[in-house]
Structures are given as structure tokens and as C-alpha cells.
């Protein structure tokens, strides 16, 4: 519980003395100063300061203040080292006094049934604060500015070199990244892999699942960490236990937390705060699986109104990411129009433009039946705020047994992107060469079903389901 402040007349007068002694301090707090915050007679002095500075763009002298208000003010000495204290204390004072006045004024509004005005009044009072930074002096020491950006920009690797390269090193702290994919495209598996990558890199990670259980999510990560199929995990428990514990000794924290669908970012904030208190660790990265299952914390909206709902939820996620300087990754469903598409655009994302406008990075996850069979899928960068990678495609390899995702050596042309991909073309080329060798023979002489190339082609075109890959 926060300490109750005693804003005595002497403390209020001290605030005025600081501002008169160092006019720069008055300039810093001009945006929040209000004479109504003060008790008389200090209120009269502050009112005169505000009016005088607005009219003459300077501060009055102590003699002028005495002549106008009848109050004597003494200037202070050696306050430079106490300026931060003044700014912090004065900011808190102004916010508390504004809240106090807002509560008193809200009584009449409540009687009139003006609940919206009450909410606005309270919210404005709570949000009173000062900008701690005056911004970047662009022309001052550009080398130092660029070196700091290069060496200390808070980037966290994704664990995949090709993706990091397109993002100029990784995902920045304070950014929100959305991975968009259709049902069964591997969104959850992707974020589980990323969570493990982060933990192995020494980051403190939370994987929030709003759909899968903690146990199932953890077992998938067991497979990724130990390079074992999910079928072998229970048969080789001793080995799994040893490998997981060994990895854990060299890794950061990885917490898997189930949260019921329909939760809000307030629930997420509360959980993370409790986790920090209990563990003493600050979370670096959060995976929310997935965005579409969250509801706004600050607004009541119709769950069917996807645009409005997703707009508020995405904004709340990004506000949290920026406030906490945490990397936040989440996922979103593609709409039905994208199911058969080879390439994605903004219109394919459920809820659409509201998510895209707010997110820092939007990355599509694409896979076809043929790609699933070969353990391949592709990322498509739809939006990147901190790089020029928009439009890029990244090929990744998926191990169907261990569920592990890794970089691929394949070029775009080697990856299946349709019903007749490049691999199918290779089989067709084989058939053509076969026909060239046997062009003197009739079609019946060598039945197609007897040729290896033909069998390969039919197997390639046959649609199959990939059980370990299928997820949301």
C-alpha cells in the first residue's frame, strides 16, 4: 500500500521556491501546474506565476510577487542536485491533487447520471505526468547515437538466423509481433519453438496459452528440447528428465501458463506481477497464444465485432510491451479467403487492418499439404516497423518427430507453394527424360504405374494430414 502524502503548506511553498530559484524547473512542469492544486496563500502566488509567465514569457521577481500577493518568498541555494527530487515530488503532488478534485467533482456528475464524464474526469487525473525525456538531440554526436543503437537497441534474437537477418538482428524490446496463419498452419508450434529458443539464449520467457493445456504445451516443448518424438517421451522418461534439467541449468526461465479464453491484458498484467514477486525475475519475452482469444480490458464490446475488439486488444498489448520494454509475440487467425492462397496480404488477417496498424511486425505463416509432408513451411513478412524486410519470404524446416523448427538451406524456388510446386516439376522432368529414352516404344510398353517417377508423382499429389503439425 502506497504511503499517504502530507502536502503541508510548507511543502507547497517549497515547490514554489524551487521554481522561482530555477526557472528551468518551472518550464519543465508547466504542462501539469495548476493553481487549484495549492492551498491559500500559496495558491495566489502560483496563479500569479502562471499568468505572469504566459503574458511576459519570464518569471516575476520576488519583489513583484510580494507587491502583487503580499506574500514573501525566499530564493534557495544549491538546488541543482535536488532537481530530480523536485520533479518527482511535484509530479506526484499534481496527480494526487487532480485525483482528489476529480473525485469531489464526480459526486455531482453521478447524481446526474453522467457516468461517461466521471470516467473521463478520473482518467485524465490519473494520467497526469511529465515527459522524462526531452527527446534526441539529432545533431549532437551522431556517432555515439548510432553506436548505441547498434550495440544496445534491446534486440532479442528469434533463434532463426534468416528471420533475424530480415528483422535487422531480431525483435526489439517494446515491440509486438503477430504471426498470422490459418488453422493447422503451426502457429502454436512456432511460438513454442520461439519460447524455447529465447530460454536457451538466457531470456526469461512466459508462454501464455489460451487454448492448449499447460501439460500438452510442455510435452511439445519436451520433444523440441530433447530431439525426441512425442511417442518416445514416455518410453524414455529418464533420458528426457536428464536432458531437460541439463538444458534448464544453462537457460533462462520458461514458464507455461494456461489462461482461460476471454481473459484480458489486466489478467496478464496481474499474473506477470505475481510471477515477478514470487520468482524475483523480470520477464523479457512473452508469447500469447493467441490474440484472437483475448477480450479488451478497458472497453466493453460485442465479441462479434472483430474490428473493434481486436483494435482495443492489440492496442492494450502494445501499450504493455512499450511500458514494460518486453518483447511480445502473439498469433492471429487468417480468414477463410486465405485458405487456398499462395501469398497473404493484409486483407487475409481476421479482424484486418486494426491489428496491422498497431503491431510492429506482422508475419504470415504459410504451409501447403505437400510442404507439411516434407516438413517445410514459409514465413512472409507483411509488415516490419524497424526494418525493410516487407515482402521477404523465409523458408524454415520442421522436424515432424521432434517438432523442432530450424533454418532451411532451401531457396524460394525449392519450396512448395501450390498444388504443382517445384518438386512436382522435378518429377515431371524425370517423366519427360524417361519418355525421351523410350520414345520408340508405345505407351503400353512401359505402364506408368510401373515407373518410379510416376509413383513418386502420385504420392506427391496425394493429400494427407500431418498429425504432429496440425495445430492452431
Half-sphere exposure of 351 (CA within 13 A, CB side): 27
Query: Residue 471 domain-assigned?
Result: no
* CA–centroid distance for 155 within its chain: 13
Query: Residue 134 domain-assigned?
Result: no
For residues 121 and 204, membership in a common domain is answered with no
Query: Residue 428 domain-assigned?
Result: yes
| Residue 349 pLDDT | 57
H or E segment and range at residue 378? strand 376-384
Q: Are 382 and 356 in contact (CB under 8 A)?
A: yes
For residues 452 and 315, membership in a common domain is answered with no
351-375 burial: b if 16+ Cβ within 10 Å, else e = bbebbbebbbbbbbbbbbebbbbbb
For residues 245 and 226, membership in a common domain is answered with yes
Query: Residue 115 domain-assigned?
Result: yes
Query: Residue 294 domain-assigned?
Result: yes
For residues 119 and 210, membership in a common domain is answered with no
d(C-alpha 252, C-alpha 163), whole Å:
22
Domain end (from 74, 93, 126): 126
Question: Which tens digits make up the pLDDT trace of 347-373?
Answer: 555 555 667 778 888 988 887 767 777
| Residue 326 pLDDT | 92
Domain end (from 376, 392, 414): 414
Work out whether strand 361-366 and strand 376-384 pair parallel, antiparallel, or are unpaired: antiparallel
For residues 121 and 163, membership in a common domain is answered with no
Domain end (from 126, 142, 159): 126
Query: Domain total for the chain?
Result: 3
| Residue 122 pLDDT | 84
Q: Are 205 and 433 in contact (CB under 8 A)?
A: no
| Residue 420 pLDDT | 39
H or E segment and range at residue 434? helix 422-437
| Residue 225 pLDDT | 94
Query: Residue 367 domain-assigned?
Result: yes
In terms of residues, how long is the chain?
Answer: 472
For residues 186 and 81, membership in a common domain is answered with no
Residue 441 lies in domain: 422-461
For residues 335 and 319, membership in a common domain is answered with yes
Q: Are 414 and 404 in contact (CB under 8 A)?
A: no
Task: Kindly tell me the burial class for residue 232, based on how many C-beta atoms sit within 10 Å of its own C-beta (0-12, 13-18, 19 or more).
Answer: middle
Which residue stretches of the chain have pLDDT < 70? Answer: 1-4, 130-134, 148-154, 298-299, 302-306, 335-354, 369, 410-472
Q: Are 453 and 431 in contact (CB under 8 A)?
A: yes
Query: Residue 4 domain-assigned?
Result: no
For residues 229 and 335, membership in a common domain is answered with yes
| Residue 383 pLDDT | 86
| Residue 241 pLDDT | 94
For residues 253 and 381, membership in a common domain is answered with yes
For residues 97 and 163, membership in a common domain is answered with no
Rounded to 10°, the helix 9-21/83-111 angle is 130
Task: Kindly tell me the burial class for residue 71, based on how many C-beta atoms sit within 10 Å of its own C-beta (0-12, 13-18, 19 or more).
Answer: middle
d(C-alpha 70, C-alpha 61), whole Å:
13
The three cell numbers of residue 461 are: 499429389
For residues 222 and 321, membership in a common domain is answered with yes
d(C-alpha 129, C-alpha 367), whole Å:
48
Query: Residue 52 domain-assigned?
Result: yes
| Residue 17 pLDDT | 95
Q: What is the CATH number of the domain that holds 122?
A: 1.10.860
For residues 385 and 284, membership in a common domain is answered with yes
| Residue 62 pLDDT | 93
Q: What is the CATH number of the domain that holds 300?
A: 3.40.50.300
Question: Which tens digits make up the pLDDT trace of 295-317?
Answer: 887 667 766 666 777 788 888 89
Amino acid at each position: 500500500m502506497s504511503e499517504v502524502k502530507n502536502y503541508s503548506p510548507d511543502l507547497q511553498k517549497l515547490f514554489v521556491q524551487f521554481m522561482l530559484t530555477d526557472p528551468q524547473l518551472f518550464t519543465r512542469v508547466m504542462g501539469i501546474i495548476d493553481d487549484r492544486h495549492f492551498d491559500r496563500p500559496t495558491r495566489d502566488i502560483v496563479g500569479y506565476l502562471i499568468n505572469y509567465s504566459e503574458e511576459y514569457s519570464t518569471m516575476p521577481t520576488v519583489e513583484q510577487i510580494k507587491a502583487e500577493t503580499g506574500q514573501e518568498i525566499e530564493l534557495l541555494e544549491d538546488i541543482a542536485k535536488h532537481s530530480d527530487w523536485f520533479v518527482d515530488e511535484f509530479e506526484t503532488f499534481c496527480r494526487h491533487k487532480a485525483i482528489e478534485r476529480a473525485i469531489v467533482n464526480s459526486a455531482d456528475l453521478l447524481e446526474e447520471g453522467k457516468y461517461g464524464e466521471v470516467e473521463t474526469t478520473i482518467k485524465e487525473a490519473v494520467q497526469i505526468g511529465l515527459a522524462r525525456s526531452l527527446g534526441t538531440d539529432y545533431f549532437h554526436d551522431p556517432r555515439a547515437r548510432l553506436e548505441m543503437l547498434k550495440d544496445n537497441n534491446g534486440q532479442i534474437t528469434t533463434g532463426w538466423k534468416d528471420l533475424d537477418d530480415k528483422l535487422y538482428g531480431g525483435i526489439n524490446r517494446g515491440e509486438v509481433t503477430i504471426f498470422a496463419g490459418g488453422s493447422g498452419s503451426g502457429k502454436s508450434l512456432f511460438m513454442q519453438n520461439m519460447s524455447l529458443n529465447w530460454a536457451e539464449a538466457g531470456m526469461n520467457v512466459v508462454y501464455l496459452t489460451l487454448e492448449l493445456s499447460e501439460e500438452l504445451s510442455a510435452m511439445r516443448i519436451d520433444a523440441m528440447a530433447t530431439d525426441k518424438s512425442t511417442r518416445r517421451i514416455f518410453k524414455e522418461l529418464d533420458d528426457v528428465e536428464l536432458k531437460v534439467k541439463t538444458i534448464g541449468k544453462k537457460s533462462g526461465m520458461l514458464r507455461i501458463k494456461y489462461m482461460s479464453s476471454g481473459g484480458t491484458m489486466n489478467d496478464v498484467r496481474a499474473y506477470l506481477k505475481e510471477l515477478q514477486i514470487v520468482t524475483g525475475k523480470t520477464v523479457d519475452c512473452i508469447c500469447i497464444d493467441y490474440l484472437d482469444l483475448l477480450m479488451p480490458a478497458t472497453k466493453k464490446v460485442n465479441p462479434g465485432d472483430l474490428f473493434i475488439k481486436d483494435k482495443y486488444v492489440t492496442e492494450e498489448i502494445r501499450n504493455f510491451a512499450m511500458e514494460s520494454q518486453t518483447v511480445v509475440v502473439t498469433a492471429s487467425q487468417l480468414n477463410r479467403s486465405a485458405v487456398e492462397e499462395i501469398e497473404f496480404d493484409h486483407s487475409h488477417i481476421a479482424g484486418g487492418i486494426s491489428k496491422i496498424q498497431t503491431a510492429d511486425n506482422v508475419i504470415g505463416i504459410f504451409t501447403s499439404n505437400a510442404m507439411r509432408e516434407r516438413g517445410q513451411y514459409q514465413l512472409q513478412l507483411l509488415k516490419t516497423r524497424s526494418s525493410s524486410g516487407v515482402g521477404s519470404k523465409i523458408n524454415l524446416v520442421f522436424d515432424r518427430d521432434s517438432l523442432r523448427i530450424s533454418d532451411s538451406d532451401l531457396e524460394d524456388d525449392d519450396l512448395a507453394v501450390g498444388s504443382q510446386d517445384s518438386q512436382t516439376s522435378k518429377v515431371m522432368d524425370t517423366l519427360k527424360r524417361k519418355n525421351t529414352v523410350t520414345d520408340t516404344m508405345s505407351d503400353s510398353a512401359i505402364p506408368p504405374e510401373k515407373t518410379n517417377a510416376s509413383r513418386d508423382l502420385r504420392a506427391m499429389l496425394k493429400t494427407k494430414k500431418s498429425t504432429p503439425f496440425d495445430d492452431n
